[in-house]
Chain A
């Protein structure tokens, strides 16, 4: 059995490559927020209270454009709705945890922490201490996001031009998703979701992403049902 400490550091280690994409993203967020005339403490609070990258960018962009405050809240909510799917996906593995653990890990449930944690949860080994892995991965990402935001706020971001941020993040997701595609139904689900995601790219507030995910999941279920 792996100890709590081993699980925690395994989570930290597995999250590390993803930071290549996340730290520059946080730097840019800090810089963008200051340029949008958001005060430094408020910008930092966005990273620690909302703690969801793309929605923070959208919110920062909307502040100062005269959009109603209620609209900003609604948009952040919409953009982050995909986290409900992550929540449902990790929930069966978190049954045995105390409420404090559930609240803490829910706070840390970002795209990047989810991607490595669900991969680990699905490995067929002893699950007793896997929440420590989740904590290690989640805290690593959290710390990076806070520090990089602060750095962006106070020093500003000077990244090389055309630094392909989104591309690097995609590479890490590819590395996590592809090895998990072990059967026909999963492959069909992934390919369908990817194609629908491109077709619905123009939809606002990540509605396209949600639609693509749902259609992908349904297609996976259909293929699986037919095989039985």
Chain B
């Protein structure tokens, strides 16, 4: 199989996954709990991306007091909650990361 075929098939499968429920939800009857569960999709999936990302440094899990990303992330959560502003959250998070990195350097 050529690399082109691999990419084409991978792309088709990915596209099919993305299209799946957008097409299907009109045609099939899904149970009520399924519909209620959809409400939690963004919070659950994105949180499951966020915390492991903050808890790893150079692809290694580091859940310790020496991981500056955890402190900076916590401050970003606070900023997001208070301001509801994406750009401000990024600025607070990045500034906090730089400061905590400098502080934790000494330990």
A-side residues, CB < 8 A to B, are 14, 17-18, 20, 38, 42, 45-46, 49-52, 55, 59, 63, 69-70, 72-73, 76-77, 80-92, 94-95, 102-103, 105-107, 109, 111, 114-115, 118-119, 164, 166-181, 185-186, 189-198, 201-202, 208-209, 212-214, 216-218, 220-221, 224
Taken together as a complex, chains A and B put the C-alpha atoms of A213 and B18 apart, in Å, by: 17
Nearest chain B residue, comparing its CB with the CB of A196: B48
Smallest CB separation, B3 vs chain A (Å): 5
**Contact in complex: A175, B86 (CB < 8 Å):** yes
**Contact in complex: B15, A76 (CB < 8 Å):** no
Tell me the interface secondary structure of chain A in the complex. helix
B-side residues, CB < 8 A to A, are 1, 3-11, 13-15, 17-26, 33-56, 61, 63, 69, 72-73, 76-77, 79-81, 84-87, 89-90, 93-94, 97
Taken together as a complex, chains A and B put the C-alpha atoms of A177 and B84 apart, in Å, by: 10
**Contact in complex: B54, A167 (CB < 8 Å):** yes
**Contact in complex: A87, B17 (CB < 8 Å):** yes
Known: A84-B21, A167-B53, A186-B43. Is A175-B90 also a contact (CB below 8 A)?
Answer: yes
Smallest CB separation, A121 vs chain B (Å): 10
- 4 shortest interchain CB distances as A-B pairs: A216-B44, A49-B11, A194-B51, A197-B48
Taken together as a complex, chains A and B put the C-alpha atoms of A90 and B1 apart, in Å, by: 35
Report A-chain residues with C-beta under 8 Å of the C-beta of B37: 217-218, 220-221
**Contact in complex: B20, A174 (CB < 8 Å):** no
Known: A49-B7, A73-B13, A190-B43. Is A195-B51 also a contact (CB below 8 A)?
Answer: yes
Nearest chain A residue, comparing its CB with the CB of B78: A178
Smallest CB separation, B107 vs chain A (Å): 18
